[in-house]
Amino acid sequence: MLIASKKKIFTTLSLLTVISISSWLLAKPDFTDAQKQTQSYIISAQQYDLLKEKVAALNVTPSHELKIINALAVELTTEQLAQLQQQLDVKVTTNHTVELSAKGRAKRKSRPPAVINDLIAATPVQQQGNYGAGVTVAFLDTGLEYVSGLIEDKDGWQRFCGFDFCGAYDAITDKFTTYNYSEESGHGTHVASIAVNSERDANGKLYGIAPDAGLLGIKAFDVEGKATYADVIRGIGWAVAEKDRFNLRVLNMSFSGPVRSSYWEDPLNQAVMKAWSEGIVVVASSGNLGSTPMTVGVPGNVPYIITVGAMTDNYTPYDLSDDRLADFSSAGPTVEGFVKPDLIAPGGHIAGLMSNQAQIARDYPEYKIGGRYFEMSGTSQATAVVSGVAALMLAENPALTPDDVKCRLMSTAQAAVNSDGSLAYSVFQQGAGLIQALDAVNSTASGCANQGMDVALDAAGMQHYQGPASVDADKNFTIEGQANDYAQFTDEAVIADKQVNWQGDVATDIVIWKTSLVEMADNNYSMLGINMPVQDKSPLQSFFETDIVIWKTSVETDIVIWKTSLDFDASETISVNNWVEQQ
């Protein structure tokens, strides 16, 4: 395996230790009984057809065929698994679960004005006649509700996805429908409406960023916002297979789960990389575990994709001076040393559509803010904002690649700075800064994202990468070769009342995003090809092992998901970030 290093002295990063699954606790331990118990696995092999043949010979039927990563999801006993491993070179992963990423808490208000488009400068894009038409955005989530703001465009016509009817695919049942679909949770509808809602407020302003874009729902998460890896991967596989039929260009993933391995070993991440390599812009939430370093989850830790953190306007949308990073927004770097999130977007007290019968609406009725509108906070909502802007960019220039979209979003983002021009938050917290739709749509920047990296080779398991982040003797996170402007100190707290400015012309702002990952020569970095497994510990790996408390103390309500990264079993989940305190 070829491992490409992006640092001069930074040693090859070792894999995160994948903790073995706890043995089943039986009232009367019996080895024979234990052997008969089954476990759901995701099993991949280079020879996919041969894998299917060997599994069939075990007299078991896979629950999912995951061709996108040459894998099957199947229930096996330990004896059957051992037999399969003897017959074929396979990679085995527990079929974990994931969760969604959203929160909510605030005072009851009347139906709110539509302010997001003004806050991110999407209004002037719409005034130029760009509403995202011709571009389809898919939301891999809890499903969609069949409501007017989602099924109709801004002129009241039924939405089309490419030259076909839009609709909803259920990755759990493997069925697609174009009418009368619904969801139980409310999360998927809320998130999707932020990006594409065609309804207007009392002043005639549109709620959605790309209200004429096509919309597809991909349901993989249940009413509690939880899903198995197999269902999520099936959903991604469906998106890749149907992308040309629906002109699916953007895939929104407002969920996160614990990091259990290097980014390239995770089967969900492998599917995500495949989607990116197939020309789909993947936008994922950083997670809601707070500003503690290294809290970005799966799939936000994939270096190629656009990972989004959240900011809040402090309930004063037209007063930028009190804007701040949301307390719940997860921070980087990743264990491999990549800077995450890539940028931030509004994610505090965001108004969106939701059925009154949805589970979230029934659990938190006090956050209904008029009609079918409901207020939620989270990196889920921020992610949808970025997906909407990506649709505008692709409507303006359909020839853009995913790397182009990422480059232009990051190169035009505005960093939060203090009055003296210094960064108000580390790049590991705010990335390149706050998204700016108009500048991103008009940008001609290129070659500033994912240079020197090959996502196709990465997804194929042939080449992998590490980023420029390191940790010093005082356990502060830094960018090698850069000043302390880019440091994140482990005892640093998010200052709620900090006065900041959003600035796009900070001299050092764009440089870090052009040089940290790609322009190695300018920073005296080197590319090292090593034909061997990763064995040496990097500073970040050592930090992870010796100060594991950082994985446990971020956000109290989500603490279990990070504790289970050290000791997990088949029952753990990956999920949408369903609920946080409103900000």
Predicted confidence (pLDDT) per residue in 401-459, tens digit? 999 999 999 999 998 888 877 888 889 999 999 999 999 999 999 999 998 899 999 99
Tokens of 373: 């509108």
> CATH homologous superfamily of domain 96-100+118-532+543-583?
Peptidase S8/S53 domain (3.40.50.200)
Rounded to the nearest 5 degrees, what angle is found at the Cα of 509, between the Cα atoms of 294 and 406? 70
- Inter-helix orientation angle 229-246/267-277, to 10°: 10
Question: What's the pLDDT at 35?
Answer: 56
| pLDDT at position 102 over 90 | no
- pLDDT band for 475, please (50, 70, 90 cuts): confident
Question: What's the pLDDT at 536?
Answer: 38
Distance CA 316, CA 312 (A): 9
Tokens of 371: 């009609």
Of 372 and 402, the structure prediction assigns the larger pLDDT to: 402
Distance CA 186, CA 225 (A): 9
Once rounded to an integer, what is the mean pLDDT over residues 88-95?
Answer: 88
- pLDDT band for 580, please (50, 70, 90 cuts): low
Instruction: Note the pLDDT tens digit of each residue in 147-195.
Output: 999 999 999 999 999 999 999 999 999 999 998 898 999 999 999 999 9
Instruction: Note the pLDDT tens digit of each residue in 252-273.
Output: 999 999 999 999 999 999 999 9
Question: What's the pLDDT at 386?
Answer: 99
Distance CA 491, CA 104 (A): 27
Distance CA 338, CA 331 (A): 11
Once rounded to an integer, what is the mean pLDDT over residues 313-318?
Answer: 78
- pLDDT band for 493, please (50, 70, 90 cuts): very low
Catalytic residue numbers read 141, 187, 380
Of 64 and 568, the structure prediction assigns the larger pLDDT to: 64
Once rounded to an integer, what is the mean pLDDT over residues 504-512?
Answer: 36
Nearest in space to 578 (alpha carbons), one of 189, 192, 185: 185
Ranges of each domain in the chain: 96-100+118-532+543-583
- Inter-helix orientation angle 402-412/507-515, to 10°: 160
What percent of the chain shows pLDDT beyond 90? 56
The mean of the pLDDT values for the chain is 79
Q: Which amino acid, 151?
A: I
Instruction: Note the pLDDT tens digit of each residue in 225-257.
Output: 999 999 999 999 999 999 999 999 999 999 999
Instruction: Note the pLDDT tens digit of each residue in 38-63.
Output: 889 999 999 999 999 999 999 999 98
Question: What's the pLDDT at 486?
Answer: 60
Question: What's the pLDDT at 478?
Answer: 78
| pLDDT at position 542 over 60 | no
Which region among 3-12, 201-210, 465-474 has the lowest average model confidence (pLDDT)? Answer: 3-12
Query: Strand 167-170 vs strand 214-219: parallel, antiparallel, or unpaired?
Result: parallel
